[in-house]
Structure formats: C-alpha cells, structure tokens
Amino acid sequence: MTDEFTTDIYYDDDADVSTLDDDTVAVLGYGSQGHAHALNLHESGVDVVVGLREGSASRSAAEADGLTVTTPADAVSQASYVSVLVPDTVQADVYANAIAPNLEAGDTLQFAHGLNIHYAQIEPPEDVDVTMVAPKSPGHLVRRNYENDEGTPGLLAVYQDTTGDADERALAYAKAIGCTRAGVIETTFREEVESDLFGEQAVLCGGVTSLVKHGYETLVDAGYSPEIAYFECLNELKLIVDLMYEGGHAEMWDSVSDTAEYGGLTRGDRIVDETVRENMEETLAEIQNGEFTREWILENQAGRPSYNQLREAEKNHEIEAVGERLRDLFAWAEEESDETDDESVPVRADD
Ligand SMILES: NC(=O)C1=CN([C@@H]2O[C@H](COP(=O)(O)OP(=O)(O)OC[C@H]3O[C@@H](n4cnc5c(N)ncnc54)[C@H](OP(=O)(O)O)[C@@H]3O)[C@@H](O)[C@H]2O)C=CC1
Ligand SMILES: CC[C@](O)(C(C)=O)C(=O)O
Ligand SMILES: [Mg+2]
Ligand SMILES: [Mg+2]
C-alpha cells in the first residue's frame, strides 16, 4: 500500500492468489469481462468453471479456450466464489433462477459493476460475502494487458462481509486477473456505480462521441472534406488522449503548438460551456436518484425500442463509413511497412 494517497491503493504485494486455493470460481458469462476474468484466473492457477445458458453462443469459444463449461446453476453449485459477468440487464433474472437456489452460506457473490446491488435489483442473503472487483477498462484490454504482463487498474468494494475474509478474497481475485499489477483502489458500491455511470454517459462514451460528431458535422457542413474532418476530430483524438494519459493535460499542452494551446485555452470553455456543466449535473442527479436505472430497466422490459433505434442511427452516421475507409487504408500502410521490415523505406498512403 502507498501512503501518498488518501485512498488506499493495493498492489501485487498486498494480495495472495493462494487465498483462493480451496475455491472453485464460477464465472457466469463469457463476454467482454467474462472471457478476460475466466482466462486470467485460469492462467493464474485458480480453479474456474464457466457458467453459460443452454445453447449459448459463447460456449464454443470458452471450450476452445480450454475452460470447463456448464450451466449457470451447475457452475454456482460447484463453486464457492461466484463472479457475475452477464450483462447488468439480465443479472436479476440469472440471480433468481440460477444463483440464489445454489448459493451456500460462506460463499462469495461478486460483481464487476454494482448496479444491481446498489439499486436493489438483487438482494443477497446475509450469510454470503458480497464484493466487487471492477476493472476500469473494457474487458478485451483486461485480457490483452494480462497477456502482455501488464496490469489493468481496478476498483474493489465490499458490500457485505460475513466470513471476515471478503476483502482478502477480493484482493486475491483482483491479483489473479491482473488488476493489482497496476493498482486497485478501495471504494464503495455506491461510489463505483454512480461514478461509472456518470463517466460513461457524460465523458467517456456519450460525451466524447457527441463532441466528435458535432465537430465532424461542423467541418463537413462548412464544406471541408469528410476525410479531413475525420482525421481532425476523431483519429487525432487518440494521439491527444495518449499524451493526457501519459502525463496529464500538462504533457498534452506541452506537446502541441503554442497556437493550439492558446486557441484551446481561449475557445475550449466556449464550446463546452456552463450549460454543459448544468447538463452534467442533471445527468448525475438522474443517476443518483435512480431515474436512469428505472428508465433502463423499463426500456429492456419493452424490448429496447429506443436503444435499437439509437444504435442504428449511430451505426449509420456518415463518420462511421468514412472511418472504415480510412482505417483500411492505414492498416494497409502498416502491413506494407511490416512486410518491407525496413524502416528506411517510407510508405506513403497516397502511393
Ligand atoms: N464491458 C466492459 O468492459 C465492462 C463491464 N463491466 C461490468 O461487467 C459485467 C458484464 O458486462 P459485459 O462483460 O459487458 O457483458 P457482455 O454483454 O459482454 O456479456 C455477454 C455474456 O453474457 C452471457 N449472457 C447474456 N445474456 C444472458 C442470459 N440471459 N443468461 C445467461 N447468460 C447470458 C452471454 O452469453 P450468450 O452467448 O449465451 O449470449 C455472454 O457470454 C456487467 O456488470 C458490466 O457492467 C464492468 C467494467 C467494464
Ligand atoms: C466506459 C464503459 C464501461 O463503464 C467500462 C468499459 O468501464 C462499461 O460499462 O463498459
Ligand atoms: Mg466503467
Ligand atoms: Mg460501466
């Protein structure tokens, strides 16, 4: 642990995977997080069984990866540690039908996101530990980082500790999936859920895609070429964010031109202005008072009409087709460059 932070952060030395030596971990779901947790746990020496519904499309992938697969109910009955990695919207059903009837006193029930516990869609019995290990990353990167001997930052929370070992066991799990290599921050279910929902809606997923689309549309509507608009508003975003990721805003401002820095500092707050801040506060309030989660549950019960419509519109936005074309072109340039294996030969995309 470090004492440089007010928040506790745990690293590899603070956790011991052998804490789980006597456990079988049931990983329910083999999607983005499920495949990463199951494979990382397995390769860290933890006994894993994957729980998938009858006829599951994920079954062949999990079996091809060398894992034991059974139904969710059977996996839970074999296990003393249950990791719930099916989508948030089906967790309450899976809990009622497959988990609850097979949970035993002293078992651990674990989540990678606390939505169903925090908004009381799942109410576990008092005699099990309820914990969370939430990688702060898409699942495919949790797996890729682990394979590259790198870590993925994560959050850990204990909602219910009946065994007295909930924290130690969750830390062992976090180590086994590679999170303590980078650092694991202790938090609460409430803090994880509300901050995660806010982050993905306002900044990471919703905010950024809207900003990119508005920027792209502004340039294209003004007569600039879609390719230039794509590069300016989407492709280069990664390079700018990489600098922020490495060294904060300071490293980014340091690396861009003085012209960009002056323009950004004077115009940035005009674009993302106080009204955006007010919208963010409203969005956060809807998360805190449960309105967003209620809406999302009802949307699912109705068969996802708005979600499907919005997904379709997003897929059909012009920037997607332009991006696909350009990414192909640049992948081609990279392949050419790999083939020549000679850094002195420049590959020009327009050759
Ligand atoms: N995606 C991410 O990177 C992150 C996710 N989380 C959290 O992790 C959890 C899992 O999310 P994510 O990995 O995105 O989930 P996915 O959507 O990738 O999960 C898909 C898996 O769940 C199975 N599944 C779907 N519906 C059912 C069902 N009704 N019954 C049984 N199995 C089902 C699918 O099996 P089948 O093939 O049968 O459909 C598949 O194996 C969530 O709590 C999420 O909030 C946390 C951090 C990041
Ligand atoms: C940013 C989206 C996320 O919260 C994540 C990958 O952390 C999710 O729910 O997928
Ligand atoms: Mg998240
Ligand atoms: Mg999330």
Instruction: Tell me which residue range forms the domain holding 17.
Output: 9-187
Same domain, 170 and 257: no
**How many domains does the chain contain in total?**
2
Same domain, 48 and 170: yes
Q: Which of 339, 22, 281, 51 is nearest to 172 (CA)?
A: 22
Residue for token pair 């029930």: 109
Q: What is the pLDDT of residue 345?
A: 40
Residue type, 220: V
Predicted complex ipTM exceeds 0.90: yes
Residue pLDDT, tens place only, 45-98: 999 999 999 999 999 999 999 999 999 999 999 999 999 999 999 999 999 999
Q: Is 118 in the pocket of ligand 1 (CB under 6 A)?
A: no
Q: What is the mean pLDDT of residues 218-231?
A: 98
Calculate what percentage of the chain has a pLDDT beyond 90.
Answer: 91
Ligand 2 atom index nearest CA of 204: 1
Enter the tokens of residue 319: 């920037």
Mean pLDDT of the chain: 94
Ligand 1 atom index nearest CA of 135: 47
E strands in the chain: 9-10, 24-28, 47-51, 68-70, 81-84, 108-111, 129-135, 154-160, 184-187
Q: Is 200 in the pocket of ligand 2 (CB under 6 A)?
A: yes
Q: What is the pLDDT of residue 299?
A: 98
CA of 163 to the centre of ligand 3 (A): 28
Same domain, 282 and 208: yes
Same domain, 125 and 173: yes
- Is residue 264 one of the residues assigned to a domain? yes
Residue pLDDT, tens place only, 109-167: 999 999 999 999 999 999 999 999 999 999 999 999 999 999 999 999 999 999 999 99
Q: Whose CA is nearest to atom 1 of ligand 2?
A: 200
Residue for token pair 């990167």: 141
291: left (phi over 0), alpha (psi -120 to 50) or beta: alpha
Residues 92 and 122 sit within 8 Å (Cβ to Cβ) = yes
DSSP 70: E
- Is residue 193 one of the residues assigned to a domain? no
Report the SS3 class of residue 48.
strand
The CATH number of residue 20's host domain is: 3.40.50.720
Same domain, 108 and 214: no
Its pTM surpasses 0.90:
yes
Q: What is the mean pLDDT of residues 194-220?
A: 98
Pick the range with the lowest mean pLDDT from 30-34, 107-111, 114-118, 338-342.
Answer: 338-342
Q: What is the mean pLDDT of residues 309-338?
A: 84
Enter the tokens of residue 64: 């091809």
pLDDT of 343 > 70? The answer is no
| Residue 4 to residue 189: CA distance in whole angstroms | 24
Same domain, 57 and 93: yes
pLDDT of 337 > 80? The answer is no
| Residue 128 to residue 97: CA distance in whole angstroms | 17
Radius of gyration (Cα) for the chain, nearest Å? Answer: 23
Q: What is the pLDDT of residue 6?
A: 56
Ligand 2 atom index nearest CA of 136: 7
Same domain, 220 and 331: yes
**Annotated catalytic residue: which of 37, 42, 113, 118?**
113
- Is residue 254 one of the residues assigned to a domain? yes
Same domain, 251 and 302: yes
Residue pLDDT, tens place only, 307-318: 999 999 999 999
